A and B are shown apart, each in its own frame.
Chain A
Amino acid sequence: MSLLAHCIEGRGIPTLVIGTVRDVMEQVPAPRAVFVDFPAGRTFGQPGNTAQHEEVLAAALAELPRFTAPGQIRDLPHQWSPDGDRAWEEMVRAELRSFHG
């Protein structure tokens, strides 16, 4: 996605990447990126939770004026589980194993 963002930005249109895979976002920096600490494939939240989708998108867009240089990644404070539990990471590992394993 970084390649496309730079292509689009190079033609004069500002871009914002909103992603969940921080290590990839770090290795191939986009002009501007916001990291959401949700499981991959669920960038805006739980299925059917329209209020959450709107909240995450609004929060990501609100970061726009805070970028001061290319390649920065800004982190949103949102958590997948309200109590901060990270059991979802095992779900993601299992999904990826099922595909690649």
Chain B
Amino acid sequence: MALEYLPIQAEHAGPAGPRQLVRSSRPAWKGTVPELSAARVTLLSSAALRRSTQPPFSPPTDTSFRAIPADPAVADLVIDHRSPVGTDARRDPEIVLPRAALAALQRRGLVGSAAPTAFSFVGASRLPRQVEEELGPALAAELAALGTDLAVLVPY
């Protein structure tokens, strides 16, 4: 049985209380998925990852995003998310943004291509309206410009 996180978070919530989970006001479903071996895949992570040279995020109310090279050789990634579960991810961001794994699957022919850019932002936002009305459309436009056939989103 899967570990239940919500009771733990509720028990240890700070003065602001536990985060309210908000369902999409505009649920969407594209019935068909692309053939993976021909698809361009873009990775997204809510770990607030960025290059060390990029401006830091300001969790938890930051709704901006950073574009990160999908090339795993670009290794100067830092995590600004304040969650305490990031001990291992700070040592190896691949466990939350699997750029090398995606590149390997491309080499094996299982996916058509990895988009040259991945994206990251601050998860567990307390600003759902801004996420839906600003961050979401901005990221969708970036994904479309990259010719993305499949977006793989990794919650932190």
A19 to B123 CA separation, bound complex (whole angstroms): 12
Considering the complex, which residues of chain B in the window 18-60 have a beta carbon less than 8 Å from any beta carbon of chain A? 21-24, 26-30, 32-34, 36, 41, 44, 46
Cross-interface CB contact of B8 among A25, A43, A96, cutoff 8 Å: A96
A48 to B137 CA separation, bound complex (whole angstroms): 34
Count, chain A residues at interface, CB 8 A: 67
A50 to B94 CA separation, bound complex (whole angstroms): 8
A4→B14 contact, CB < 8 A = no
- A-B CB pair tally, cutoff 8 Å: 221
Q: Is A81's CB within 8 Å of the partner chain B?
A: no
B6→A14 contact, CB < 8 A = no
A28→B22 contact, CB < 8 A = yes
Contacts of A57 in B (CB 8 A): 98, 101-102, 105
A31→B29 contact, CB < 8 A = yes
Considering the complex, which residues of chain A in the window 13-71 have a beta carbon less than 8 Å from any beta carbon of chain B? 13-25, 27-32, 35, 37, 39-48, 50, 53-54, 56-58, 60-61, 64-65, 67, 69-70
- Known contacts A3-B128, A15-B151, A99-B82; is-contact A61 B111 (Cβ 8 Å): yes
B residues with a Cβ closer than 8 A to A are 2-6, 8-9, 11-14, 21-24, 26-30, 32-34, 36, 41, 44, 46, 82-89, 91-92, 94-96, 98, 100-102, 104-105, 110-111, 123, 128, 131-132, 135-137, 139-141, 143-144, 148-156
**Interchain Cβ contacts under 8 Å between A and B, 25 examples:** A2-B24, A5-B151, A7-B132, A8-B153, A11-B137, A13-B151, A15-B151, A15-B153, A21-B5, A21-B155, A23-B6, A24-B21, A27-B21, A41-B89, A41-B156, A42-B95, A44-B95, A46-B95, A47-B89, A50-B104, A54-B104, A58-B105, A60-B152, A100-B9, A100-B12
